[in-house]
Structure 1
Amino acid sequence: MMDPIFSARANCLFDRANLVSDNPIFAKWALGAPIAVFGNWVGGRVQVSGTEISFAMNGMNRLFQHDTAALSVPLHQVSSVRFGKMFKLARTVDCDTADGTLRFRCFGRQNDALLAAISAAMSPESSATKPTTRP
């Protein structure tokens, strides 16, 4: 990834099938009930560069997931970005792709900054997305 134009702690919504439900900590803390209601929101770090959006899980959340590889989506595959809602409680940043919607939930006003960074990087006027030419 190029130098990020945005980086923040965030949660990303993953498929429930990615959960490692036989983890003893999972059973002890009864984490299954909230996940059944709210979804498999995985903590980590979201970054936006001039070419992609990436998400890497934090160490604690990797204990509960089958696929722990960093997620990377090229910006040219993102057709739109908008605010969404997790139930009616929390605002999310939703990135639509041909494969579905990638959802992030940041802390505080970071959702605004994330949406602005993705929108700016996707903009045709953005120098971050234009190829550089050498003389």
Structure 2
Amino acid sequence: MVYRKISPDMKLAAIKLYEKNLLSLDDILDCCGLLERTFWHVRKLYQETGDIVPPTCTTRGWPKKLHFDDVTYLLALVHQQPDWFLDELLDLLDTNRFILVHYTTIHWELERAGVSVKKLRIIVKEHDEGLSL
């Protein structure tokens, strides 16, 4: 039989028919269009979890190295001293927050937070104007 998606309702109906002994296993498999191996897999999952759909992981990708507080700290540093280089931010993060990451991680997190070179130039300009007043 070719791979095809079987609706969760059909799987649940097959399990309920089998548990209540309303039909034989062969009749259930014919009616629902299931393979025997699929049926036993779904039944085992139903007995273990109470659901016929396998649980999915809510998080995707690699876990973040920097948490929200760390990124907020970096943003505060950038707004305080916008002409610092990534390696200087790396040293401050290591010294003050005890976090060792690569400088590209800092770059990615700043980009994700919306800090671009253009915005940094604007911050530097505002910072210089504030000093001259």
Whether the TM-score (by the shorter chain) exceeds 0.5 is no
Give 1 or 2: higher strand fraction.
Answer: 1
Q: Which has the higher contact order (CA 8 A, sep 6+)?
A: 1
TM-score, normalised to structure 2's length?
A: 0.23
Max Rg structure: 2
- Indicate the structure with greater helix content: 2
